[in-house]
Amino acid sequence: MASLEDPRTAVVISAASSWGTYRRVWRKLRRDPVTLAAAALLGTIVVVTLMAPIITGLLQTDPDQILRTPTGRIATLEPPGPGYILGTDDLGRDAFARLLHAGRVSLAIGFMVALISVLIGAPAGLLAGYYGGRVDDVINAFVQFVFNVPSLFVLIILSVVLRPDVTVLALIFGFFFWPGTARQVRGVVLSVRALDYIAAAEALGASDLRVIARHVLPNVVNIVLVVAGFDVAGAILGESALSFLGFGVQVPMASWGNMLSGSQDFLRRAPWLVYPPGIMIFLTVLSVVQLADGLRDAFDPRV
């Protein structure tokens, strides 16, 4: 059967329409101060943490170095002052240097988890929504399984047995996050699948692959971006809790969560150590979530 579509114009049309979509999205975003502020904040946090080695180098501090006071004593639990802007922790390390370097680890885990979640969840949701039936059942069984597992308990036992490094930790978290992505994508695919133009494309003899790639996928990309944002936020929160308990990122490597593990013993003596990691987690999660939320509204043609 001869194709009724001229491939060249089809490409032009879809490219033009997709650029049109993004122009429309950008026009909406430009008028949305909350989302713009969130994007700026997130951008700042990412840049500052990426530049952590340079910044701490300029300040001549190091996240692992044990500092000494002018009198030669090890500088444990020193309040903020010259030489250590945010004070020192219980082992005498510079809290500011550790905060910046911890940000690299926490953000890396957040983004890696989101990537893994999307890489597994999006195809799974696509297949489940498009083919339905047996395929849907199998994928749904996996999703149900992960949703019903007491995740913190399993994460702890995995951490004890596997003693994961940052990459493995991100893989494990990704395993708990992909079903959420799959579920969202499946929902979108189901509603797109019911539209007339899919039926039309199929009637014209388009292969499954072509229908998925050309007609379904463009609708899925937006939701994937949004879900990925929420995954980053969830992963950063989850990692911080696990690391706080001592089962996530292992010392001496710093993460925003483990900077405070075991802190109950010295909280009363050094309250200044409590605030910075939590504030960083809060700002990061808040900006990621607001950005994802704003994108969702911008992508939604009805809003």
Partner 1 sequence: MRRFLARRLLQSVLLLWVLMTFTFCLTRLAPGGPESMLLEQPKIQKVDLDRIRARFGLDDPLPLAYAKWLGNVLRLDFGMSYHYLRPPLEVIGERMWATVQLGALAYAIALIGIPLGVAAALNRGRLPDISIRVFTVMSDAVPNWWMALVIIVALSTFAGWVPRGQGTEGPLDWFRHIIIPAAILGLGGIVGFTRYVRSQVLEVIGQDYVRTARAKGLTELAVARDHILRNALLPLVTIFGGLLPALISGAALMEVIFAWPGMGRLYLDAALSRDYPLLLAMITIATIATLLGTLSADVMYGYVDPRIRYS
Contact residues for partner 1 (CB under 8 A)? 141, 144-145, 147-154, 156-161, 233, 237, 240-241, 244-247, 257, 260, 263-264, 267-268, 271, 274-275, 277-278, 281-282, 285-286, 289-290
Q: How far is the CB of 134 from partner 1 (least distance, A)?
A: 16
Q: Is the peptide bond before 33 cis (omega within 30 degrees of 0)?
A: no
CA distances (Å), 53 to each of 60, 228, 240, 282, 299, in order? Answer: 10, 27, 22, 23, 37
Please tell me the distance from the alpha carbon of residue 92 to that of residue 273, in angstroms, as a whole number.
12
* Of residues 55 and 237, the one with the C-beta less far from partner 1: 237
For the CB of residue 232, give the shortest distance to partner 1 in the complex, in Å.
12
Q: Which is nearer to partner 1, 41 or 253 (CB)?
A: 41
CB of 74 to partner 1, least distance (A): 24
Q: Cβ(295)–Cβ(229) under 8 Å?
A: yes
Of 108 and 241, nearer to partner 1 (C-beta) is: 241
Closest distance to partner 1 from the beta carbon of 24 (Å): 24
* Cβ atoms of residues 25 and 299 within 8 Å: yes
User: Minimum distance from CB of 34 to partner 1 (Å)?
Assistant: 10
CB of 204 to partner 1, least distance (A): 34
Rounded to whole angstroms, the Cα distance separating 179 from 190 reads 16
**Smaller CB distance to partner 1: residue 58 or 161?**
161
Structure tokens at 65: 């170095």
Between 201 and 281, name the residue whose CB sits nearer to partner 1.
281
Determine the 3-state secondary structure of 84 from DSSP. strand
The DSSP secondary structure of 93-143, one letter per residue, reads: BBHHHHHHHHHHHHHHHHHHHHHHHHHHHHHHHHHHHHH-HHHHHHHHHHH
Cβ-based nearer residue to partner 1, 8 or 268: 268
